[in-house]
């Protein structure tokens, strides 16, 4: 049971590390290894301090029923599998969407009452969050460009400070990812009410950290270099904007897509340079991943549970 949750946590780290450091690594500010270590530290802190809000939503906010051990294992394994698949193909998908889709699928499979109003609210946030972050990063990037034109060329100290701010913003993204995504990995387990919440959040945070360190580089290249070329100011703006969006939704217990937040922020920065600087092919690939992940996770959770029950009873 805990192993399945740890597997999902590992997937979050492997896929979503790119959302924390892809822009920083992509602009050449810091090496992947050093950035991944920073992510590992701050994602655990975020999970422990504020991960409980989303964990409660995933646990019993979507499906109003006590799930059995089989149901919890199925939803975790199916959700984790499709995120692993996306990571292998270097597609920054959403673990939040996979888990929510899986929970809805398993809820329907066991005949439980599914809170569709809550599900619709969460699904709407998957659209609102990236749009909000894109607008924020677009406006913020214009402000940073204005400041750079006035002061940036006069002193190397300013450029150096901006570099450190970009690294600090990556840490903020990692913290926000821990606060929002740690609950995704262990929310279904929390439904069973057999483990202390803090223990679950620590296991989730640690698993995310391990995923970041062991397999996070693939998707980091897509986010940092595949959408649009970023410099240090662009990396800073993208990270601060996406982190703010994720943190805001975390406080309301809404599991948003870390991937959609950072991609929206990177697109906002790219629009300042001009629409031609954005790789439309990469954007389309990412959008397909966002739509297919929750759909497939939900469908396979439903079917796998039904098949296992049929064989078990038969």
pLDDT above 80 (res 19)? no
What is each CA distance from 4 to 12, 69, 72, 81, in whole angstroms?
A: 13, 11, 9, 11
> 10 Å Cβ neighbour count for 167?
19
Whether 99 contacts 8, CB under 8 Å? yes
- Whether 304 is covered by a domain: the verdict is no
- Whether 84 is covered by a domain: the verdict is no
Look at residue 155 in the predicted model and tell me its pLDDT.
65
- Whether 82 is covered by a domain: the verdict is no
pLDDT digits (tens, 9 = 90+) for 257-277: 777 787 788 888 888 877 665
Torsion of CA 132, 134, 165, 205, to 10 degrees: 60
- Whether 109 is covered by a domain: the verdict is no
Number of domains the chain contains: 1
Q: Which of 103, 31, 36 is nearest to 74 (CA)?
A: 103
| Mean pLDDT of the 187-199 span | 90
Tokens of 256: 């948003």
> 10 Å Cβ neighbour count for 143?
10
The domain in which residue 54 lies consists of 2-62+121-282
Distance CA 102, CA 164 (A): 39
The runs of H, that is alpha helices, within the chain are 2-26, 32-50, 52-56, 69-88, 95-109, 116-151, 156-190, 197-215, 217-221, 232-251, 258-273, 280-313
pLDDT digits (tens, 9 = 90+) for 67-115: 888 999 999 998 888 888 877 776 666 778 889 999 999 999 999 889 9
- Whether 311 is covered by a domain: the verdict is no
Work out the pLDDT band at 55, boundaries 50, 70, 90.
Answer: very high
Q: Which of 100, 72, 70, 97 is nearest to 86 (CA)?
A: 97
What is each CA distance from 75 to 12, 33, 214, 309, in whole angstroms?
A: 15, 31, 24, 14
- Whether 108 is covered by a domain: the verdict is no
- Whether 164 is covered by a domain: the verdict is yes
What are residue 114's DSSP bridge partners? 63
What are residue 33's DSSP bridge partners? none
Distance CA 153, CA 150 (A): 7
* Angle made by CA atoms 199, 205, 210, in degrees to the nearest 5: 125
Higher pLDDT pick, 293 / 220: 293
The whole-angstrom distance between residue 154's C-alpha and the CA centroid of its chain comes to 38
Work out the pLDDT band at 27, boundaries 50, 70, 90.
Answer: low
Distance CA 172, CA 61 (A): 27
Work out the pLDDT band at 201, boundaries 50, 70, 90.
Answer: very high
Three-state DSSP state, 63: strand
pLDDT digits (tens, 9 = 90+) for 219-240: 655 554 555 566 778 878 888 9
Q: DSSP for 159-202?
A: HHHHHHHHHHHHHHHHHHHHHHHHHHHHHHHHTT--S-HHHHHH
- Whether 27 is covered by a domain: the verdict is yes
């Amino acid at each position: 049971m805990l192993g399945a949750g740890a597997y999902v946590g590992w997937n979050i780290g492997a896929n979503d590390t790119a959302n924390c450091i892809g822009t920083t690594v992509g602009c050449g500010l810091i090496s992947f290894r050093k950035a991944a270590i920073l992510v590992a530290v701050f994602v655990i802190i975020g999970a422990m301090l504020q991960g409980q809000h989303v964990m409660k939503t995933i646990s019993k906010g979507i499906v109003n029923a006590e799930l059995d051990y089989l149901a919890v294992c199925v939803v975790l394994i199916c959700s984790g599998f499709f995120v692993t698949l996306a990571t292998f193909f270097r597609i920054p998908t959403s673990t939040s969407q996979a888990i929510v889709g899986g929970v809805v699928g398993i809820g329907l499979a066991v005949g439980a009452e599914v809170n569709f109003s809550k599900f619709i609210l969460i699904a709407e946030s998957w659209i609102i969050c990236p749009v909000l972050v894109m607008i924020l990063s677009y406006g913020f990037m214009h402000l940073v460009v204005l400041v750079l034109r006035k002061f940036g060329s006069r002193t190397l100290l300013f450029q150096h400070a901006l570099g450190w701010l970009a690294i600090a913003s990556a840490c903020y993204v990692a913290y926000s990812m821990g606060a929002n995504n740690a609950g995704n990995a262990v929310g279904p387990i929390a439904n069973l009410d057999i483990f202390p919440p803090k223990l679950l959040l620590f296991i989730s945070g640690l698993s995310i950290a391990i995923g970041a360190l062991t397999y996070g580089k693939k998707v980091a290249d897509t986010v940092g270099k595949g959408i649009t070329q970023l410099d240090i100011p662009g990396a800073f703006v993208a990270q601060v904007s996406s982190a703010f969006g994720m943190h805001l939704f975390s406080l309301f217990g809404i599991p948003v897509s870390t991937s959609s937040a950072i991609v929206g922020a990177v697109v906002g920065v790219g629009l300042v340079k001009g629409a031609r600087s954005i790789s439309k092919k990469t954007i389309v690939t990412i959008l397909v991943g966002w739509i297919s992940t929750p759909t497939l996770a939900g469908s396979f959770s439903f079917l796998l549970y039904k098949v296992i029950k049929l064989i078990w009873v038969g």
